[in-house]
Amino acid sequence: MRNLPDPNIVARIAQILRRACRLLFITGAGISADSGLPTYRGIGGLYNNQLTADQVPIEIALSGAMLAANPAITWRYLHQIEETCRGAQFNDAHAIIAQWQEQFEVWVLSQNIDGFHRAAGSCNLIEIHGDIHDLFCTRCAYEASVPDYAGLTLPPACPRCHALVRPRVVLFGETLPPGAIVQLYQELDRGFDLVFSIGTTSVFPYIAGPVMQASQMGVPTVEINPANTNVTDFVDYKLTAGAAVSLRAIREAYLKASTRQRSRGVGASRPEAIVVPDPAKAEALDSRQPPKISRALASSSSISRSASVQSWASLPPVKLRFSAL
């Protein structure tokens, strides 16, 4: 039997949600688990502490260096990842986040390359890792978008100049797309009222950084993940259930709370007090000016569970590393 979200925690999150304006959702492979896609690390992860069939870690197989040295290996695992997405569709978790655009200003920072957030209707979307279906030539200006890799000869060659074709995703060791980073910094500078981390182990600083910076700034934080991660010790609320069941529960609690308020005839008066762990967080929310989250969250160093919140504030903006997973 799957874990169900704690109703007491769900109720508290719903109360905070009623007072929020700007929401940030940071999502990883776990949010697509209910669509039938495997996660890549964590519980049931496809590559969790295992070598690939080529006897190298997935981080090596899906690296820029491997693509240059032996593109057949990199394309083998790109094809495997795309094949797991083939025929799948977005689930309730993606849909609820998109639907909340009607009540809130919602931003999504997604590590996923499956395209489900966009298909569900999310507009303010930072696809930090690209889209596996977008291809381009490594030599000429050729580019294409394909529904899947079923008809590709691997590794694919450019139909114009016969050079290697690759997907428009960032592999291990490669830098993140500058446009996405600029957009992320701009939105963090504007601030958020509530930050969610959903279905990600948060191994990379630019994914864990916004959560930890939010915690430091007094912004309420929520993690939805069956397993403990690199940000678990820093979030205010932890739901150890799946993404879809958790967001359905939060949506239901939010709607019930809103209905109760309307039935009381409260009108334009302020809603009931928020239950949050720290009075400073309530003060930050009550100001209606979301605290800004520092952009000093980018680092090529690895995250450790012992990292302090203070250490994140001093991280210099250097070359970013990321996983296409």
- Give the total residue count for the chain: 325
User: Taking each helix axis from N to C terminus, what angle separates 205-217 and 178-190, rounded to the nearest 10 degrees?
Assistant: 10
**Three-class secondary structure of residue 253 per DSSP:** helix
Q: What angle do CA 314, 315, 316 make, to 5 degrees?
A: 110
Pairing of strands 221-224, 194-198: parallel
Please tell me which residue in 79, 94, 117, 129 is annotated as part of the active site: 129
Q: What is the rounded distance in angstroms from the CA atom of residue 235 to the CA atom of residue 194? A: 11
Number of C-alpha atoms within 13 angstroms, CB side, residue 5? 27
Q: Could you tell me if 243 and 116 are in contact, meaning their C-beta atoms sit under 8 angstroms apart?
A: no
Our answer to whether residue 94 is catalytic in this structure is no
Close Cβ partners of 233 (under 8 Å, ≥ 6 residues apart): 305
The CA radius of gyration of the chain, in Å to the nearest whole number, is: 20
Task: Please give the positions annotated as active site.
Answer: 129
